[in-house]
Chain A
Amino acid sequence: MASTVSTQLDMGDIQGDILFAYGNDYVCTSYVFVNVEGADGRSWLGALVDRVTSARPWPKDPDGATIKRDTTLNLAFTAAGLAALGVAPELLATFSSEFLSGMASRAGELGDVGPSAPSNWDPGLGTGEAHVLATINAKRSDLLERELTAFREHAERCGVTIVNEQHAELLGGQREHFGFADGFGQPAIEGVSEHKSVGGGVPEPDGRWRPLAPGEFILGYEDEDSRVDDEQRLPSAPATPLGRCGTYMVYRKLHQDVALWRKTLRDAAHGYEGGERKLAAKIVGRWPNGAPLVTSPEDEDPDFDPTQAHSNDFRYLDDDPDGRRCPLGAHIRRSNPRDALGWEGLDDAGLLAFRHRIIRRGMPYGPPLAPNVTADDGDDRGLVFVCFNASLSRQFESVQQQWLNDGNPFALGDDRDFLLGDASGSGKMTIQGDPPFFLAPQQSFVTTKGGEYLFAPGMTALAALADATESGL
């Protein structure tokens, strides 16, 4: 197996916030979906391309401090959007089938049924109207508003219409609405974040960890298949010039019923000797500050620091095979099983759990529910879930369908992820112990309010999209 990639990642050609998160300096984000039908979409795009933020490292001041822009802009396209911009059908056909069919058409596979069904989604999403997603991050809300105003005016001038706009911002303590620190369990990638390999990369049977190949997340580079392929073929990607340095993006607006979450925990904790706080940790697999249950099984480690190199250094097979610390069906154990599925498989690579990793970005939206309130106040709040992967079906959809919405891979029957999974299975969750504790079926805490599959092209591809004469697209 090759230990190094043959090609250096071209950071200047990759859009920002994919391989490297912009970070919490940016406290607010707007996700703006536009429709370019009947407009001069290419001109509209052309005026934006130079403002798109790449993954090129930020400059530093004389003291060595990073100088980040006040705002960032990134663009991604739906299949309908690429078609509306005039991308030729034969070129469009080189994109993956799940991207071309769109998230709404995959509702059954993704568990978006009942209240989460596309017919209940926010206007403009899942209908084919959304063509381009502009993601604008800002260090302050006034800066965001300034950018949004300019964006809206430019769109209006070009006849481009805004079909959906979602504002999101960090919550106090950088928690999501259920009260948990989120977002630091990211894959370690060769040439990007190798220093986070321990706990973030691929666990190997000899106890070591290794980073993932960058082609798992950025097209045009070697992926894990390339590494074991004698010809080192690159993963399937859209045809030149669109594929290289691009990636598939998932956008999902997930409404969180915080009142129901709290009420369920409060009621269930009457019969659970560990109490409400520990029960919540068992469902998630981490304590609210992010400390993993595998390494902190009894109580939250107040000194836990997710930025430390070994903060995520744990495995399931040796440390917690039967789920006494972190339940077998806990959210983090399902969404990234590490070594929990065992080593039997191709080339001792386990059951290929590492082929289903995703880079998660996203931001909470809506005001927090006041502390200790267990009655719904009617406000819309939740998480804008964003992730990036080279294959929607192998990565995002597999996690959603096989690991979160099913129990079979973990020998859990019809149980699903109690935190996120749809409620059409058994609805229960088992907390392993003597005796085990069962969380009773309840309505879903999380409802999908909209979503799209998108493609985030590289910077060269963006320029080609904007200039059809030059690129021939």
Chain B
Amino acid sequence: MSNTAGQAYAFLAMTPIVSGEEDGLRAYIEGFAQTRPFERLPRTHFARLVILPDWVNDPSQPKEDHLHSQYLIFSTTFDGPLDSYLDELCDRMAPECKEVWGRCIGAPRRTRGAPLKNYLLHNQIDIGFFVSAYPHASVEKVQSVLARRKQLTDFAVRTQGLDPSELRHAYKQEF
């Protein structure tokens, strides 16, 4: 069991949805594709919100098994420790948190700050196996490396054909 890979942390929480709120919640989180609230959490590599409507029943099982309510699964992979990440989530995404977990059973009346953080921690499920594409590189580091690669690519294209001394000079100027 490991919630971490290198410096990356994987958090997962499952919270039951208040009956009747499922469609509204689904519509609200689908809007995140446009509003992109997780951009306010620059440590985020990856985040996912899934509504689990019910168990999938196999025709061969003797008795069908159903959930008593639909569940919201929140999964996120980010840089650094969980504690400060949840602080940032509950603060910088406070309006969205209210809309999302305010529709879940057992959520605190005040769906922001420490009460919401404690609610999410209470519903956290530890990860059995976690692999990260960049376990030792933060989002910031990945973005800076991509920018450097683009700079190097542009430089190579711009300076091809220069003689060695001109190339050396241009390289020193650029980098």
Q: Which A residues fall within an 8 A CB radius of B?
A: 271, 413-414, 426, 428, 435, 437-441
Contacts and interface: CB of A to CB of B under 8 A. Distances in A.
A435 B158 CA distance: 14
B157 interface: yes
Interface in B127-167: 149-150, 153, 156-158, 160-161
Contacts of B149: 413-414
Contacts of A271: 160-161
A441 B160 contact: no
On chain B, which size bracket covers the interface? under 10
B32 to A, nearest CB: 16
Contacts, number: 20
Interface in B82-97: none
A426 B150 contact: yes
Contact of B153 (A426, A435, A437): A426
Nearest to B149: A413
B161 A441 contact: no
Contacts of B158: 440
Contacts of A413: 149, 153
Given A413-B149, A414-B149, A426-B150, A440 B161 contact: no
A439 B160 CA distance: 10
Most chain B Cβ neighbours within 10 Å, of A413, A414, A437, A438 = A438
B162 to A, nearest CB: 11
A438 B150 contact: no
Contacts of B161: 271
Q: Which 7 A-B pairs have the closest CB atoms?
A: A438-B157, A440-B157, A271-B161, A426-B153, A438-B160, A428-B157, A438-B156
Contacts of A437: 160
A276 B156 CA distance: 21
A426 B156 CA distance: 12
Contacts of A414: 149-150, 153
Nearest to A271: B161
Contacts of B160: 271, 435, 437-438
Contacts of A440: 157-158
Given A413-B149, A414-B150, A439-B157, 14 more contacts: A271-B161, A413-B153, A414-B153, A426-B150, A428-B153, A428-B157, A435-B160, A437-B160, A438-B156, A438-B157, A438-B160, A440-B157, A440-B158, A441-B157
B11 to A, nearest CB: 27
Contacts of A439: 157
Most chain A Cβ neighbours within 10 Å, of B149, B150, B153, B161 = B153
Contacts of A438: 156-157, 160
Nearest to A270: B161
A440 to B, nearest CB: 5
Contacts of B156: 438
Contacts of A441: 157
A435 B162 CA distance: 12
A414 B153 CA distance: 10
A437 B149 CA distance: 17
A440 B161 CA distance: 13
A76 to B, nearest CB: 31
Nearest to B160: A438
Nearest to A413: B149
A428 B149 CA distance: 13
